[in-house]
Amino acid sequence: MMRIKFGTSGWRGIIAREFTWDRVDRVVDAIALLLKSDGRESIVIGGDCRFLSPELAKAAAERMAGYGFDVALSQGPCPTPVLSHACRKNNYGGVINFTASHNPPIYNGIKFSPWHGGPADGIVTADIERIIEDGGKPEKGSGSVTVTEFGKDYSQSILKYLNPDTFKNSGLRVVYDAFSGAGSGYLDRILVDLGVAVRVLNGTRDPLFAGRQHPEPGKNGTVDLALQVVSSGASLGVATDGDADRFGIVNENGKFVSPHDFLPLLLEYLIEIKGYSGSVVRSVTTSSLLDRVASAHGLQTEITPVGFKYLGARMLEGNVILAGEESGGLSIMDHVPEKDGILACLLAAEMVCTRGAGLAAQLDDLWDRYGRVPVSRTDLRLDETLKRYLTKKFFESDPSEIAGFPIESLDRIDGARMILKNGDWILIRLSGTEPLARIYVESDSAEEMDSIMQKVVSSFHGITSTE
């Protein structure tokens, strides 16, 4: 059996193969020992709508109580940002969250967040892995389990980042795809309470995600949402993934709004309409269009590796107006240092109400002023042979070219980002949550971007584990 390893956002595995009940118990025991060593004996426990998430959450709560912990157990499936908010608001020692986020339905996982509610950093997860290998268990104790509804406090708190009066009599019509996940009953309820007409798609629990093999609210995952927006004449389409930490947005014309474009649009809105100020933080894979908007308003942009644990850590230091990444995660100001797809969708809805124009029109205006900086991503299934090839050529050496393109410079913020002579760049990194190699290309020209991507991917053809 493979060792239990925490990736970019927790430990995930295929149910019944890597992710088994006894291995979950080992992880829970390790978290209990870690928290006790830090003098913390309270915890929030919940999960999303995946297979066994509610049952595992209940069992973990009882196990932690048996070790003397005071446990607040979510009364049902609960979004990741809501659990994070509950931890911070009530000063709990951490969060155990049963979720595999956007992974295929055959996966489940555990995400651990320390007292601050954000993702655990590499030092903490390495400690958990070490404790698991040591195989120890905490001493028995007499704790408690309190079944708790966290939604009301979260919904009330999130209003501080919104202007409820903007929504009144706006006539806003939104289609929301909940992806059969934990966001259902949260985002739609907040919108309805604000006076928005909402149509919900996939709003009931389904561990198979209505047949979706990749329940990620990206361009491919929002095709049905786009059709419903157009056919219903809605103002906006929004989506959240299974644990509602990632967002997807479709404009009034049924076109997917990439996070590469939404984040700069949102940043300008936060600055000009809400009057926010501070630093801007983005992952290395996110479009530099965000940098252009920040610079135009006299703000600094900080670049981190991929994973919200890096962006959240920067938020904890303070003075961050917006932290965002290309995979559909963001948070703002002093909100939770964790991805919040619910907040992202609410802000998109408010932007439409406040400006009296759809996101398509708003983006056209943004591009007229700043230009477009598209980024493309392709995922390659990663077998051992391809992994060895990529590691040797790009991670253990300094390549001079890739797919025939001379490399001007190289940075290793995360993976290998190769800057070409005209400023375009190619990034190769290995996913921390799935057996994938992710290839990114940024260029001022969409046509050039597509051409570069095609040549790069073609250069890897024939490298398989059968060689």
Same domain flag for 278 and 326: yes
Asked whether residue 58 is assigned to any structural domain, the reply reads yes
Same domain flag for 346 and 279: yes
Same domain flag for 310 and 416: no
Q: Are 63 and 55 in contact (CB under 8 A)?
A: no
E runs forming strands in 36-136:
42-47, 70-74, 95-98, 107-113
Same domain flag for 329 and 196: yes
Same domain flag for 417 and 279: no
DSSP, residue by residue, 373-433: --EEEEEEE--HHHHHHHIIIIISS--SEETTEEEEEEE-SSSEEEEETTS-EEEEEE-SS
Of 242, 256, 218, 9, residue with least CA distance to 113 = 9
Same domain flag for 383 and 351: no
- Domain end point (choices 318, 342, 370): 370
> How far is the CA of 287 from the CAs of 331, 360, 367, 449, in angstroms?
17, 18, 13, 13
Predicted confidence pLDDT, tens digits, the chain (467 residues): 578 999 877 999 999 999 999 999 999 999 999 999 999 999 999 999 999 999 999 999 999 999 999 999 999 999 999 999 999 999 999 999 999 999 999 999 999 999 999 999 999 999 999 999 999 899 999 999 999 999 999 999 999 999 999 999 999 999 999 999 999 999 999 999 999 999 999 999 999 999 998 899 999 999 999 999 999 999 999 999 999 999 999 999 999 999 999 999 999 999 999 999 999 999 999 999 999 999 999 999 999 999 999 999 999 999 999 999 999 999 999 999 999 999 999 999 999 999 999 999 999 999 999 999 999 999 999 989 999 999 999 999 999 999 999 999 999 999 999 999 888 999 999 887 778 999 999 998 999 999 999 999 999 987 754 33
Asked whether residue 464 is assigned to any structural domain, the reply reads no
Q: What is the CATH number of the domain that holds 417?
A: 3.30.310.50
Name every residue whose Cβ is closer than 8 Å to that of residue 376 and which is 6 or more positions away in sequence.
440, 441, 442, 449, 450, 453
Specify the pairing of strand 11-14 against strand 173-177. unpaired
Number of domains in the chain: 3
- Domain end point (choices 338, 370, 402): 370
Asked whether residue 1 is assigned to any structural domain, the reply reads no
Same domain flag for 47 and 192: no
Q: What is the CATH number of the domain that holds 364?
A: 3.40.120.10
Is residue 307 left, alpha or beta, with left meaning phi > 0 and alpha meaning psi from -120 to 50? left
Asked whether residue 69 is assigned to any structural domain, the reply reads yes
In tens, the pLDDT along 294-344 reads 999 999 999 999 999 999 999 999 999 999 999 999 999 999 999 999 999
Of 255, 284, 465, residue with least CA distance to 380 = 465
Asked whether residue 257 is assigned to any structural domain, the reply reads yes
Of 55, 52, 73, 53, residue with least CA distance to 64 = 73
- Specify the 3-state DSSP secondary structure of 213: coil
Same domain flag for 294 and 193: yes
Same domain flag for 358 and 382: no
- Specify the 3-state DSSP secondary structure of 307: coil
CA–CA separation, 421 and 335 (whole Å): 40
Asked whether residue 162 is assigned to any structural domain, the reply reads no
Same domain flag for 351 and 407: no
Asked whether residue 266 is assigned to any structural domain, the reply reads yes
Instruction: Estimate the crossing angle of helix 359-370 against helix 259-272, to 10 degrees.
Output: 90
Q: What is the pLDDT of residue 464?
A: 52
The amino acid at 219: K
Same domain flag for 211 and 308: yes
Q: What is the pLDDT of residue 467?
A: 32
Asked whether residue 450 is assigned to any structural domain, the reply reads yes
Phi first, then psi: give them for residue 293, nearest 5 degrees: -65, -45
- Domain end point (choices 149, 178, 203): 149
Record the tokens describing residue 214, joined without a space: 């990749």
Same domain flag for 392 and 319: no
Domain of 382, in residue numbers: 375-459
